[in-house]
Amino acid sequence: MSEKTHELIGVLATQYNMKDYDEAYATFDWAEVEKELSWSTTGKINVAYEAIDRHVDTGRGDHIALYYSDATRDEKYTFAELKALSNKFGNVLKKYGVKKGDRVFIFMPRSPELYAALLGAVKIGAIVGPLFEAFMEGAVRDRLEDAGAIAIVTTPKLQQRVPVSELPELQHVFLVGAEGELAPKEISFDAEMKDASEDLEIEWVDREDGLVLHYTSGSTGKPKGVLHVHNAMIQHYQTGKWILDLRPDDVFWCTADPGWVTGTAYGIWGPWLQGATSVIRGGRFTPEDWYDTLQRFNVTVWYSAPTAFRMLMGAGDDLVKKFDLSSVRHILSVGEPLNAEVVRWGMKVYGKRIHDNWWMTETGGQMISNYPSMPMKPGSMGKPFPGIYAAIVDNEGNELPPNTMGNLAIRAPWPSMMRKIWNNPAKYEEYFGLKPWYISGDSAYKDEDGYFWFQGRIDDVINTSGERVGPFEVESKLVEHPAVAEAGVIGKPDPLRGEVIKAFIALREGYEPTDELIAEIREFVKTGLAAHAAPREIEFRDKLPKTRSGKIMRRVLKAWELGLPTGDLSTMED
């Protein structure tokens, strides 16, 4: 967790979009931002037009929008080419009767086709549901079922995890790289794209119409479908300008996958609304490869996550010297606490500050940040974005004085705020019960200079390598295993990954706690849910601590793990 320091790293950049934070904060007005976006005279909009086609219409069609590379591909696409490809896919969807408001899921590894498909779906007014490629069948089914998806874009390999016959609403399965005979509902993405027209009638939507559904984890229940709308572009545009500090000639690399909110908000909208070039690197993480990517594409602005920076730190200072990283102007981090230590290391090896910022799937866009023109306190998340009022409040919604820990809250609404939890209005209301606040579920404090310091999650949500994992989803999968009677799952502090998943398990009669069984149970979660959700550690116990109403007391498990006092046990069963 962050520790307050009195250390201050001064401003290093010589040129930046936001000149002075205090002035920007005092004078800012969201309504002014809209004037920079070309909202049509009818008041109808489409963010895919703003992000792609607008640059073609304003004479920047030949500018590179996307560099894509992985182990086998090395490609680039201009804004004009992305316009044409996304138009084609929009026409393909129309041909199959997909309409505005329909849910179109995208379940495939990062590739140019993924981006073309996502933009095409948005252009016809569909709501896109990007799914991380590591999800296994159960996780895929839950999400498609909840959203009532009517189409999915996937690959032949990943399609094996899409239980089409169990999803009556799913009508079309677009296969990228389809080979051989197609089963009912299957459509060859490539064949359709070849034939489709490059001219598309864009669906102009209302600013409050649905854009994207991101499923995210809470501490109870199944994953929640967080709905964002086209209006969010106002925030993506302005944070792209002032937090990412982008200009049209920048080469921006966001390392997140579009299955997570960072990969859409800032892997797609942030850079492209600014007309900048986006780098997408497919495949797995290696430090050499990442530095090579920065060097090869002359990346100027780099957005990544604490776990990645910690891994790079672990790879050593000498490795950095083997690469020419002089193009990099601005570095940012999100997803989990960025240790002051990592910021200091970044200063040493990159000669740059790593700018932490805080936000969540539900906030849709960046909310609290360090800005290039603002002095930085290493370990702090920074200050609220202009137009955003953030506060620390108690459980009744009263603002707390400086240096007091409490709920990190945001005054609602703001442009990129979620508009719905799909099929679950009660869950949505839970966030907004203490008017006028949105309660984030994080705890933090604000210091006397207005800097915010992250303290932890208030609920049991686990953050492992920046990915949010709901303990309930993992526990539910664990108890499906024949040997498992009860399971309780916690995040265990870990120097590299922030937290790792640890499961406490009580076995059914007749099962012995062996290493083989541990391996088998881990594999069961890996294949049934997702690799990143599988417990790294499993500990067997005869019995788990439960409340009288039968809830596993994760707080007690955590206290056991950390060797801390277990606190009030009055609700625990005998």
Binding positions for ligand 6R9, 411-450, rule CB under 6 A: 440-442
Q: Does 266 bind ligand 6R9 (CB under 6 A)?
A: no
- Closest residue to ligand 6R9, judged by C-beta, is 361
User: What's the closest the beta carbon of residue 557 comes to ligand 6R9, in angstroms?
Assistant: 19
Q: What single string gives the DSSP state of each residue in 378-441?
A: TT--BEEPTT--EEEE-TTSPBPPTT--EEEEEES--TT---EETT-HHHHHHHT-STTEEEEE
User: What's the closest the beta carbon of residue 319 comes to ligand 6R9, in angstroms?
Assistant: 25
Query: 186 in helix, strand or coil?
Result: strand
Closer of 3 and 32 to ligand 6R9 (Cβ): 3
Binding positions for ligand 6R9, 319-358, rule CB under 6 A: 334-338, 356-358
User: What's the closest the beta carbon of residue 355 comes to ligand 6R9, in angstroms?
Assistant: 10
Alpha carbons 288 and 472: distance in angstroms, whole number: 36
Q: Which of 78, 86, 87, 262 binds ligand 6R9 (CB under 6 A)?
A: 262
> How many chain residues are in contact with ligand 6R9, going by CB under 6 A?
23
Alpha carbons 148 and 131: distance in angstroms, whole number: 14
The two three-digit tokens of residue 336, written as one number? 């989990």
Binding positions for ligand 6R9, 200-229, rule CB under 6 A: 216
Alpha carbons 371 and 382: distance in angstroms, whole number: 8
Q: Is residue 118 within 8 Å of 89, Cβ to Cβ?
A: no
Q: Which of 111, 231, 239, 463 binds ligand 6R9 (CB under 6 A)?
A: 463
Cα torsion for 373, 374, 379, 380, to the nearest 10°? -120
Q: Does 105 bind ligand 6R9 (CB under 6 A)?
A: no
Q: Sort 286 into a burial class: Cβ within 10 Å, 0-12 / 13-18 / 19+.
A: exposed
Closer of 155 and 416 to ligand 6R9 (Cβ): 416
Closer of 293 and 464 to ligand 6R9 (Cβ): 464
Q: Does 261 bind ligand 6R9 (CB under 6 A)?
A: yes
Rg, the chain, Cα only: 24
Checking phi first, is residue 228 left (phi over 0); if not, alpha (psi -120 to 50) or beta? beta
Cis peptide before 401 (omega within 30 of 0): no
User: What's the closest the beta carbon of residue 362 comes to ligand 6R9, in angstroms?
Assistant: 7
Closer of 243 and 299 to ligand 6R9 (Cβ): 243
Which phi and psi (to 5°) does residue 221 adopt? 70, 180
Q: Does 135 bind ligand 6R9 (CB under 6 A)?
A: no
Q: Is residue 435 within 8 Å of 383, Cβ to Cβ?
A: no
User: What's the closest the beta carbon of residue 147 comes to ligand 6R9, in angstroms?
Assistant: 18
User: What's the closest the beta carbon of residue 321 comes to ligand 6R9, in angstroms?
Assistant: 28
Q: Does 360 bind ligand 6R9 (CB under 6 A)?
A: yes
Binding positions for ligand 6R9, rule: CB under 6 A: 216, 260-262, 334-338, 356-361, 381, 440-442, 454, 457, 463, 468
